[in-house]
Amino acid sequence: MRALIEAFPDQLSAAATSMASQPLNQDVPPHENILVLGMGGSGIGGRFLAGLLGDAARVPIASGHDYRIPAWVGPKTVVLACSYSGNTEETLTALDAAIKKGAHIRALTSGGQLAELAKQHGWAVLTVPGGHPPRSQFGWAVTGLLHHFSALGHCPTDSANVLDDVQACAQALRHHRASILDTADRWAEVLNTKSPMLYGDTALEPVLIRWRQQLNENAKRLCNHHVFPEMNHNELVGWESGNKDLAALFLHTEEDHPRTAERMRLCKEIFAKAGAAVEEAQAIGATRLQRWMHLVHLGDWLSLLMAEKTGVDPVDIRHIDYLKGELAKMA
């Protein structure tokens, strides 16, 4: 896993180059909404794009992480099916439902049943390299989805060319490598004896979810995430039981709403008074994609260093393997 995280900037560069060599039909199908299907490491890309394009896309974007699909899916829906292996049970089941409802289908995969279905139906499909843990291929997933969305006419407002922006992300991560590692190492020490509580502006929730998933899978740690200002109306009261066993980690970007930033400042004081460790990180980058990728890479390094400091295998997913094995017996 260390080698894969080390190589993340190179993965972004390779993904951008690869997508540029996989042209998509520019005949945009009439559509009123978009649904991105995916689970786990293949599903986080959909959440990421829905958030990234939240104020730029001309139609609503939703991400689906279930066997079922929303009732509004129909002939004027674009469904993007994402499965790294191509064999994800929930995604294929939801995809079948979308086909039956007449949705326009596109795909992103390394192979498996999804690749076969794409070939059979003639769907627009982007192919990524296989053979790695899906969560480690985040760069390929996001870049592929950006390429799909660009072909559909939906791009970030601050990126003239999404693939060029991905290359710029890679360059920025290489440039800021030392500071990212320094912060990740310092926070890993803090979290050695404390449970992480992740916070950020509402718009940043996809990044917070990525952090939580990486801490779950790589570091084998449970953690919580919430967003401001919503947490001020519920979870804040729960901090009556806050204590020294907790660490509140705040992620910030220059796009934080001014009133939300003030709410977070005041809550940091509350959390510190409860005895919790309070840390914050500011995203760096010229575009939203660059800023979000900066935070994603920081979270990836944090999860790896936490695993290494506690002697756990960041690749091992024995509970998931057991669950899949037991479910296979019931098929």
What percent of the residues of the chain are helix, what percent strand, and what percent coil, each to the nearest 5?
Answer: 55, 15, 30
From CA 232, how far away is CA 226, in angstroms rounded? 10
Catalytic center residues = 217, 233, 324
Contact 250, 280 (CB under 8 A): yes
Main-chain dihedrals φ then ψ at residue 226, nearest 5 degrees: -155, 165
Cβ(129)–Cβ(110) under 8 Å?
yes
d(CA 14, CA 38): 22
Question: What is the secondary structure of 169-183 as a DSSP string?
Answer: HHHHHHHTHHHHHHH
What span, in angstroms and rounded, lies between the C-alpha atoms of 292 and 158?
13
CB 89 within 8 A of CB 152: no
Give the C-alpha separation, 188 to 216, whole Å: 14
